[in-house]
Amino acid sequence: MAYGIALDGHRQLLAVTIGTEESEASWSELLEQLVERGLCGVQLVIADAHAGIATAVRRHLPEPPQQRCVVHLQRNVVGKAPQRIRARLAREVWRIFEALSKADARKRMEQLQAGLGKQVPEALACLTNGFEAATQFYAFPKEHWHRVRSTNGLERLHGEIKRRTNAVGAFPDRASALRLVTAVALNVTAIWTDRRYQGMSLLKSKEVVVAKAE
């Protein structure tokens, strides 16, 4: 599923579909829906690092940069380290993305490389490879950083969908599963119309400016 943040600062549920896996085909189906319905003016796409998502976005929304979710990157990095130092490494990685500029973030990553990073080369390689994609948010107003650097805005929605689908167990077909998922998504996101998610006056675009997918 994907949602966007419009110029008025409100979130809007954009599309829901069901795929058998995190593949380019599954994500292309969702993005095709959005493009056919007129989605335009996207300035940033925020998603996890699944290759299927990235490839589908490049195909259907080639103009905006892709922001890798920093929370997922942190988990990926920490998961490659021994258990005994994971908590410390998690703090060091998060410290990088709390820097006040991309240049400062890079310096903090270099400090990690020179210190704790020497003990966890695989984790460090994961962080280094993901750094550029995870720091696209620095090109946006500082007031927006905490919203546009992760896909956390989808977590409650995902949790409710998992709760409902787990309760059902097996579905007779894809259509019945999609009906339930869509109904749950619409119910959970109904409150979005009453709450401004983010101030958008610092951006000049007059279209949907941010799309999040996961």
CB distance 1 to 182 below 8 Å = no
The predicted pLDDT at position 33 comes to 87
CB distance 57 to 28 below 8 Å = no
The predicted pLDDT at position 204 comes to 56
- pLDDT under 70 in the chain at which residues? 20, 202, 204-214
Nearest-angstrom CA–CA distance, 197 and 119: 40
The predicted pLDDT at position 205 comes to 47
The predicted pLDDT at position 206 comes to 37
For the chain, give every domain's residue range.
2-68+151-213, 70-138
pLDDT in tens, 87-108: 999 999 999 999 999 999 999 9
The predicted pLDDT at position 9 comes to 86
Give me the residues paired with residue 45 across strands.
66, 211
Measured at the alpha carbon of residue 88, what is the angle toward residues 84 and 117, in degrees to the nearest 5? 90
The predicted pLDDT at position 211 comes to 56
